[in-house]
């Protein structure tokens, strides 16, 4: 089976198919929990707690929250070596907002 780069497949997709693909991708990404992201990075709660200079129980509580601030989420992701980008979609344009990290 030959695998193709998705960008090659996109070239042959209709606008409607591209929109559906984006929608499904976004829905899939929303399904990840912070714990899954951390685990996929191969980081334990203890390791992350050390990086953030907090205790492990605080990580556990943070991962279970339903609502978190963008700044706290950004701090969590940055401690795992990642960064957050926020995409704002208007009918006539798209804006990529990169939050500044402050601690």
Domains of the chain: 14-97 (1.10.260.40)
Identify which of 35, 32, 91, 78 has the alpha carbon closest to the alpha carbon of residue 99.
Answer: 78
Tokens describing residue 20: 């559906």
- Rounded Cα distance between 26 and 49, Å, is 28
Identify the H or E element spanning 75.
Answer: helix 70-79
CA–CA dist 73, 85 (Å, integer): 11
Residue with more model confidence, 1 or 81? 81
State percent of the chain over pLDDT 90: 25
pLDDT digits (tens, 9 = 90+) for 18-61: 888 777 766 665 557 888 888 989 999 999 999 999 999 999 99
Report the predicted TM-score, pTM, of the whole model to 2 decimal places: 0.57
């Amino acid at each position: 089976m030959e695998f193709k780069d998705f960008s090659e497949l996109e070239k042959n997709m209709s606008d409607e198919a591209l929109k559906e693909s984006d929608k499904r991708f976004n829905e899939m990404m929303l399904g990840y929990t912070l714990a899954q992201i951390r685990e996929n990075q191969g980081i334990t709660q203890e390791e992350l707690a050390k990086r953030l200079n907090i205790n492990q129980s605080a990580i556990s509580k943070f991962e279970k929250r339903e609502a978190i601030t963008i700044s706290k989420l950004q701090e969590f992701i940055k401690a795992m070596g990642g960064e957050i980008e926020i995409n704002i979609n208007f009918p006539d344009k798209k804006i990529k907002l990169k939050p500044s990290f402050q601690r």
